[in-house]
Amino acid sequence: MKHLTIIDHPLIKRDLTIIRNYKTDNHLFRTTLRRISSIMAFTVTHDLRLKKTHVQTPLERTAGHVLGEDIVIVPVLRAGLGLIDGFLDVLPEARVGHVGLYRNEKTLEPVDYYSKFPEGLGRSLVLLLDPMLATGGSATAAVTFLKRRGARRIRFVGIVAAPEGVRKLASHHPDVAIFSAALDRKLNARGYILPGLGDAGDRMFGTEK
């Protein structure tokens, strides 16, 4: 899967085990998701451009750097909200857009209900965040949305991906690099990832039925 980068790190493997565990409560699920996303942010941004600057230390003036490009992070509501704080912890300069999508439980097709983006998407590196890439319908629709609004450089960041979702996103948007903490086995008949972690939004917000 040439569009997919699995971020392989011992701390991520430990945290994945915590969020997969059905006994993990909503609070631990959210704090662990935040920590994983912070760790992932290092790899996702490894090639960011820098601009040279100078900084005055208490002793003398020396060379330094600031980020040389605008970054917009876009969580897919609801579950993508679980990844933004981890990214903002290490990218405080980033601006945040939102796209609201949910899957119709019968058709598995994404239904959009909200979007709001900062200006200048076209000159920004856009990091689209959603922990789950299952059928790929939501991520594909979110990227299409972003492109219609002018985004040109988009990276998708998830936690658990199914092969079906990676194939769909890569075939519709081959220019989008996909980062994930894990590539799982497959989808079940209801479109849930196996082994997966269940419904990420419900586990974050305590809305499981």
What is the closest distance, in whole angstroms, from the C-beta atom of residue 54 to ligand URA in the complex?
47
End-to-end CA distance of the chain: 35
Restricting to residues 64-83, name those near ligand PRP by CB under 6 A. Answer: 76, 78-79
138 binds, among ligand PRP, ligand URA, none (CB under 5 to 8 A by kind): ligand PRP
What is the closest distance, in whole angstroms, from the C-beta atom of residue 141 to ligand PRP in the complex?
8
Cα dihedral across residues 25, 31, 35, 37: positive or negative: positive
Q: Spell out the residues 6+ positions from residue 63 whose beta carbon is closer than 8 angstroms to its own.
A: 52, 53, 54, 55
Q: Which is nearer to ligand PRP, 20 or 103 (CB)?
A: 103
Exactly one of 8, 14, 89, 107 is catalytic; which is it?
107
69 CB neighbour count, 10 Å cutoff: 14
Out of 135, 154, 176, 184, point to the residue binding ligand PRP (CB under 6 A).
135
Q: Which is nearer to ligand PRP, 70 or 112 (CB)?
A: 112
166 belongs to the binding site for ligand PRP (CB under 6 A):
no
What is the closest distance, in whole angstroms, from the C-beta atom of residue 102 to ligand URA in the complex?
10
Do 155 and 125 contact (CB within 8 A), yes or no? yes
Q: Which stretch binds ligand PRP (CB under 6 A): 3-11, 35-43, 52-60, 101-109?
A: 101-109
Out of 84, 168, 196, 204, point to the residue binding ligand URA (CB under 6 A).
196
**Residue 156, CA distances (Å) to 20, 122, 206 in order:** 21, 16, 25
Do 110 and 141 contact (CB within 8 A), yes or no? yes
Q: 124 is written with which tokens?
A: 């920004």
